[in-house]
Chain A
């Protein structure tokens, strides 16, 4: 920033800053009231004692946090790792990871395909990817439900073609959740990779071919390293909402295949243990924050590379 020479200019900047803050204030207050502020209350609640009928008693307790990972045996008070919670955490990680990998395998070629179309048709392809992104998540999950039910389209057509005689049970399984999340979050993988591909200079590839590289080698040694930030961005954009998914596992997992989101909801519903639910929510928030900090550092680094 250039040194400010006179007092008047300094005064003007001060006024402008104050105006900027005043203009932003209504948005900040709204978000503080109905988004950020309540998160702080969740942290407080995670340290309280559960009430008998839901809600909390205002007595400090670390029990909710203890229960996130451990259980105490009701008979002899022995402490052990909570298998139920650990397996749900582990399942959430596995399913989210699997979803991310499948989205990457499908989304990368798709993004590459869109980016290599001639400019006249590129926007149409891009529009076709964006539309599912803006349509209702519940409806898209429901569409998958109708597809893979025992009496759904896939089973019905397989039976009528005579390939199978009894429907293949696909619904209410981990596989169903992964299919659903892949379907729902795929555009989130394609869009950032496309954004990176769009700026890619194909003269590098030409140079590679001139030096007798194979197509595979061009992909691995030239294209992939350059658009790596886009790939990482897409992976995090898919992984984070997958980990926080609630609707998809509820509809396609059918109550027994829980993910963290459903476990949280359970504590506020049947479980009537609000502090535990709050502690689980804070845990999820922390995991997501770590992923996002990682994401920001990568996107900052790629911006610096662009500037050079």
Chain B
């Protein structure tokens, strides 16, 4: 393996550049080492963050017994599920409206609007929502999770939209044309042909939206009212106090969820040759 990565001295390779492979491997190492250490210490038996006192699931048990963590976890999942459902639904419709069509007036405007959350710094959107929702709260007296769900759904739209659009762009029109030729009404064509073909894209979009919502810190931190912590904002709050390996345990669980979802996403979007 290693001598395939590092070129042998006498062999002439046109792609070889001095030191590049070394830097790349250092990069991969530094990307994974801190996370690995973090996961490793979540299994520490002792209170100390960095003093290894033997393997145990102590902090996982501790975290799962902590009521604040339980509530935050449930809240995180509820918000992520609702937000990803809403954003995937509207993103699918928008993708159907903006792809496989001759360019129409305002198409660019729609693109910019949909991708806007990717361009504006999150802290700016966060304070904007803080201000806006503060106004709404004084009028409606509603303080529920709705604000967080709507905010998450909005910034998840571009993440749901991109894989769905990519799938639509790559889809063959011939099946749909064949179905219409056989007198299938448009809705039947959509339900029986377009939707099944589009399904992997929709799933991929929903998964990205779910992970993005689950991981969000900044917007949640500004929009939430007291007692509406999600797992990430709970962790951010804990970082100000004495840190125990409980945070490592929560992080590891979140990492595992992201890893599973992203891997499944890759399987859904993988190009088949």
Name A residues whose Cβ lies closer than 8 Å to a Cβ of B: 1, 13, 16-17, 19-24, 26-28, 30-39, 41-42, 45, 55, 105-107, 109-110, 112-114, 116, 125, 127-132, 134-140, 142-147, 149, 151-153, 156, 183, 186-187, 190, 202, 205-206, 209, 215-216, 219, 240-241, 243-244, 246-247, 251, 261, 264-265, 268, 274, 277-278, 281-282, 284-285, 288-289, 292
B37 touches A153 (CB 8 A): yes
Binds A, one of B58-66, B88-96, B170-178: B88-96
Tell me if B127 and A268 are in contact (CB < 8 A). yes
CB-based contact B127/A278 at 8 Å: yes
Query: CB-CB < 8 A to B135: which residues of A?
Result: 41
Q: Which residues of B contact A45 (CB under 8 A)?
A: 131
Measuring CB to CB, which residues of chain B are less than 8 angstroms from any residue of chain A? 14-21, 23-28, 30-32, 34-35, 37-38, 41, 49-50, 86-87, 89-91, 93-94, 96-98, 101-102, 104-107, 110, 113-114, 116-117, 119-132, 134-135, 150-151, 153-155, 157, 161, 208, 211, 214-215, 217-218, 222, 232, 235-236, 239, 247-248, 251, 254-255, 258-259, 262, 266
Alpha-carbon separation in the docked complex, A130 to B265 (Å)? 12
Complex Cα spacing A106 to B49, Å: 30
Q: Can you list 13 A-B pairs with a CB-CB distance of less than 8 A?
A: A30-B86, A31-B113, A107-B27, A134-B208, A135-B255, A138-B215, A142-B247, A156-B50, A202-B14, A202-B15, A216-B18, A240-B121, A247-B217
- B259 — which chain A residues lie within 8 A by C-beta? 131, 135
> A137 to B217, Cβ gap below 8 A?
yes
**Which A residues touch B128, using CB under 8 A?**
38-39, 41-42, 281
B155 to A142, Cβ gap below 8 A? no
Interface on chain B toward A: helix, strand, loop, or mixed SS? helix
- Which of B18, B110, B120 is A24 in contact with, Cβ under 8 Å? B110
When distances are taken between beta carbons in the complex, the residues of chain B under 8 Å from A205 are: 14-15
Contact partner of B97 (CB less than 8 A), chosen from A22, A41, A147, is A22
Among residues of B, the one whose C-beta sits closest to the C-beta of A112 is: B20
Which residue in A23, A42, A139, A146 is a CB contact (below 8 Å) of B127?
A: A42
8 Å CB contact of A20 from B101, B124, B214: B101
Instruction: Contact check, B239 vs A20: say whether CB atoms are below 8 A apart.
Output: no
Closest residue on chain B to residue A295 by CB atoms: B119
Give the distance to chain A from B257, nearest Cβ to Cβ, in Å.
10
Q: Which residues from chain A contact B101 at a C-beta distance below 8 Å? A: 16, 20
Residue of B50, B114, B123, B262 ringed by the most chain A CB atoms within 10 A: B123
Cross-chain contact A145 with B239 (CB below 8 angstroms):
yes
Contacts of A33 in B (CB 8 A): 150, 154
Q: A27-B114, A30-B86 are in contact. Are A288 and B120 (CB under 8 A)?
A: yes
Contact of A215 with B98 in the complex, beta carbons under 8 Å: no
Question: Which A residues touch B124, using CB under 8 A?
Answer: 39, 42, 244, 264, 281-282, 284-285
- Asked if B38 and A274 make an inter-chain contact with CB atoms under 8 angstroms apart, the answer reads no
Shortest CB distance A296–B (Å): 10
Q: Given A39-B120, A106-B23, A288-B119, answer yes or no on A183-B258 (Cβ-Cβ < 8 Å).
A: no
The contact of A127 among B24, B105, B235, B266, by CB within 8 Å, is B266
For the complex of A and B, the 10 pairs showing the least CB-CB separation, nearest first, are: A244-B121, A23-B97, A113-B24, A38-B128, A34-B154, A143-B34, A38-B132, A27-B94, A109-B20, A109-B23
Beta-carbon nearest neighbor of A246 in chain B: B123
Taking CB atoms, residues of chain A closer than 8 Å to B26 are 106
